């Protein structure tokens, strides 16, 4: 893993050794397909829709990361900018200021791969220097023109998500996702990002109607097969369960579990969730039945 520029990062914490970060990346990539993998969500934002403001301080973030590790998370996704519908964009320096005091000590304290939830290339580069093994880009390399190059140069893995600025109910969302990912993979190929380091995310809740979100979830198996890549599903506590069940944010666990198990049955391999223990248990049962 190339940590070029890491010596310019000013942080009071000693970043974790790059060989460990690389080994964690390979641990994550190597486990894909063996069983459903759980990505725990750790938002260090004031305005995330479900847990904004709860884990902004180092003590709270460390406690939550350790809890998710104990509960069986396979990796932890750290986000410093909310991407919920109607969110207020965060300046790069503000996003870095939220990550800088947290990510390095988290990576040192918790023996799991960490991903950084950002679409800004410079934030991704700095986060990798602080210990992130994976970049989770909600714009699939298509918002910041330097993102694919940063992923290639640093050796990080990447989750690339389908996204749209606006909803269009007339759109064939399956076809749109394939056009989007074809562009993403061209950018990855041009930058030198190996396909083996990429994971697709259909982007449930991003620029889609309720019907399109359901269609995207139903499509996860075909999407992965069409591109020959693993698929991550991120539906945890999202508004689709409010629309389907009339459930408020804190009452959406059952809907989230049902959707994720259904997607696992269709072939999705990685699941981004708030409720780690419940998903680890559900997938243990699912996997036992699938292997019986």
- Determine which one of 98, 125, 149, 272 is catalytic: 272
120 is catalytic: no
- Determine which one of 24, 25, 125, 238 is catalytic: 238
Report in angstroms the alpha-carbon separations of 159 from 147, 169, 185. Answer: 12, 26, 12
Listed in sequence order, the residues at least 6 apart from 277 whose beta carbon sits closer than 8 Å to its beta carbon are 71, 72
238 is catalytic: yes
Catalytic (active-site) positions: 238, 272
């Amino acid at each position: 893993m190339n940590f070029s520029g890491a010596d310019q990062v000013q942080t009071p914490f000693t970043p974790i050794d790059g060989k460990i970060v690389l080994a964690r990346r390979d641990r994550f990539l190597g486990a894909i397909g063996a069983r459903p993998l759980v990505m725990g969500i750790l938002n260090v934002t004031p305005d995330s829709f479900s847990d904004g403001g709860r884990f902004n301080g180092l003590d709270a973030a460390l406690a939550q990361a350790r809890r998710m590790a104990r509960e069986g998370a396979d990796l932890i996704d750290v986000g410093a900018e909310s991407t919920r519908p109607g969110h207020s964009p965060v300046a790069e320096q503000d996003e870095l200021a939220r990550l800088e005091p947290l990510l390095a000590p988290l990576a040192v304290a918790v023996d799991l791969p960490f991903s950084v939830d950002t679409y800004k290339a410079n934030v991704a580069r700095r986060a990798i220097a602080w210990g992130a093994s994976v970049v989770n880009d909600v714009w699939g390399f298509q918002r910041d023109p330097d993102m694919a190059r940063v992923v290639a140069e640093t050796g990080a893995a990447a989750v690339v998500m389908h996204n749209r600025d606006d909803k269009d109910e007339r759109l064939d969302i399956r076809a749109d996702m394939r056009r989007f990912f074809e562009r993403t993979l061209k950018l990855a190929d041009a930058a030198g990002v190996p396909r083996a380091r990429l994971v697709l995310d259909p982007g449930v809740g991003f620029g889609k109607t309720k019907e399109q979100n359901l269609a995207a979830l139903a499509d996860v198996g075909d999407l992965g097969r069409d591109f020959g890549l693993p698929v991550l599903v991120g539906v945890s506590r999202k508004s689709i369960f409010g629309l389907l069940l009339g459930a408020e944010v804190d009452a959406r666990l059952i809907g989230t579990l049902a959707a994720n198990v259904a997607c696992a049955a269709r072939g999705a391999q990685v699941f981004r969730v708030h409720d780690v223990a419940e998903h680890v248990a559900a997938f243990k049962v699912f996997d036992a039945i699938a292997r019986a």
